[in-house]
């Protein structure tokens, strides 16, 4: 949308502002804008009604806040206009501010926040079924490979998909943010972490959120750091898993997550001409390859066929 359109939407809701500054566009279609008026800042989120609504986000914001999870306060929800107006938590998401000097501290604080979310009792949210997890992972073969790269996924990819679902079905199921990554975690000046974009919260395998924060789309997989972080998580969580079991939860959650996201971002480009995440695809694929068990034949197929084809495809765009 244009700035003038956002200002008009805000005005209709009683928030007359001087400026509206675009913050980010999400794969879901949500647009985030900073409203500026009288030296005050708020955040407006717009979602076209044909793509969904904000009701779940608003309900979850209230519920998470009641359990002392740091989230933005929702000041207004107008379902007819497709907007919420929220507290502005600032620009210091962990994607921007995490570096080598603060990496361990901020990752540990993020894991503690994740545990807070995981341990909220009796949440009335959807349970991710095995069929839903399979539909998501199938985006890799059907969209990323076949439609975007124009190659057929071989038998080894289908075997990987089946093995992923089988492993995830055996893992603990907890409250799952479903996109617990650095861009959705915002730090205050005192490094207190708040979480945003939690509208897809569900009950899902433990490894999906662990992979979200530890298998970063913008950093190469670091096995030592991941295992060290999982050891910290184990000391704080009530989950009864040993170190090897916890790493396997991370591994298979990461495989499902990265295969799903490669398909999702490819579809977003093909259907909506949104190219803003295409540059992320090589790192997401590399990290997927890096966490695959070494003896899986699909690893060679990804290295020898899929990765070169992705490089070729991106160079042609």
In this prediction, residue 39 carries a pLDDT of 80
Ramachandran angles phi, psi of 103, nearest 5°: -55, -45
Domains of the chain: 3-87 (3.30.200.20), 94-316 (3.90.1200.10)
69, 195 contact by CB (below 8 A) = yes
Assign 60 a pLDDT band (cuts: 50, 70, 90).
very high
In this prediction, residue 24 carries a pLDDT of 83
pTM for this entry: 0.95
Assign 62 a pLDDT band (cuts: 50, 70, 90).
very high
Question: Over 90: is that where the pLDDT of 25 sits?
Answer: no
In this prediction, residue 103 carries a pLDDT of 97
Summarised one tens digit per residue, pLDDT across range 241-273 is 999 999 999 999 999 999 999 999 999 999 988
Summarised one tens digit per residue, pLDDT across range 188-243 is 999 999 999 999 999 999 999 999 999 999 999 999 999 999 999 999 999 999 99
- What's the per-residue H, E or C state across 222-271? CHHHHHHHHHHHHHHCCCCCCHHHHHHHHHHHHHHHHHHHHHHHHHHHHH
- Average pLDDT over the chain, rounded to whole? 96
* Cα–Cα distances in angstroms (integers) from residue 171 to residues 55, 166, 187, 213, 241, in the given order: 30, 9, 30, 18, 10
Helix, strand, coil in percent for the chain, rounding step 5: 55, 15, 30
Q: How far apart are CA 61 and CA 72, in angstroms?
A: 7
Summarised one tens digit per residue, pLDDT across range 151-188 is 999 999 999 999 999 999 999 999 999 999 999 999 99
54, 29 contact by CB (below 8 A) = no
* Largest separation between any pair of C-alpha atoms in the chain: 61
Between 68 and 295, whose confidence is greater? 68
Assign 3 a pLDDT band (cuts: 50, 70, 90).
very high
Q: How many residues can be counted in the chain?
A: 317
Helices (H), 33-153: 55-66, 94-97, 103-118, 130-139
**Other CB atoms closer than 10 Å to residue 237's CB: what's the count?**
20
Q: Which secondary structure element, helix H or strand E, spans residue 68, and what is its range?
A: none
Question: Over 90: is that where the pLDDT of 28 sits?
Answer: no
Question: Over 90: is that where the pLDDT of 36 sits?
Answer: yes
Question: Over 90: is that where the pLDDT of 295 sits?
Answer: no
Proportion of the chain above pLDDT 70, given as a percent? 100
Summarised one tens digit per residue, pLDDT across range 78-134 is 999 999 999 999 999 999 999 999 999 999 999 999 999 999 999 999 999 999 999
């Amino acid at each position: 949308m244009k700035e003038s359109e956002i200002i008009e939407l805000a005005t209709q809701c009683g928030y007359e502002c001087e400026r509206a500054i675009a913050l980010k566009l999400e794969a879901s279609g949500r647009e985030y804008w900073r409203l500026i008026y009288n030296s005050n800042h708020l955040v407006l989120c717009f979602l076209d009604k044909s793509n969904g609504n904000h009701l779940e986000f608003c309900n979850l914001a209230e519920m998470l806040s009641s359990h002392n999870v740091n989230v933005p306060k929702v000041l207004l929800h107008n379902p007819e206009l497709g907007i919420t107006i929220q507290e502005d938590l600032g620009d210091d998401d962990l994607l921007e501010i995490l570096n080598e000097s603060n990496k361990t501290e901020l990752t540990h604080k993020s894991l503690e926040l994740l545990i807070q979310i995981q341990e909220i009792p009796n949440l009335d949210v959807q349970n991710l079924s095995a069929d839903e997890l399979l539909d998501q992972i199938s985006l890799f073969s059907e969209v990323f490979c076949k439609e975007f790269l124009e190659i057929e996924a071989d038998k080894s990819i289908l075997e990987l998909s089946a093995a992923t679902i089988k492993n995830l079905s055996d893992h603990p199921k907890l409250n799952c943010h479903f996109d617990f990554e650095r861009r959705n975690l915002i730090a205050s000046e005192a490094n207190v972490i708040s979480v945003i974009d939690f509208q897809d919260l569900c009950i899902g395998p433990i490894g999906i959120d662990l992979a979200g924060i530890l298998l970063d789309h913008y950093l190469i997989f670091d096995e030592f750091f991941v295992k060290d972080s999982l050891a910290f998580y184990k000391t704080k969580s009530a989950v009864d898993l040993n170190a090897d079991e916890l790493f396997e939860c991370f591994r298979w959650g990461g495989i499902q997550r990265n295969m799903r996201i490669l398909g999702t971002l490819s579809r977003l480009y093909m259907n909506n001409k949104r190219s803003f995440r295409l540059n992320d695809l090589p790192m997401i694929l590399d990290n997927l390859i890096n966490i695959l068990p070494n003896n899986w034949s699909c690893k060679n197929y990804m290295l020898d066929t899929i990765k070169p084809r992705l490089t070729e495809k991106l160079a042609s765009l």
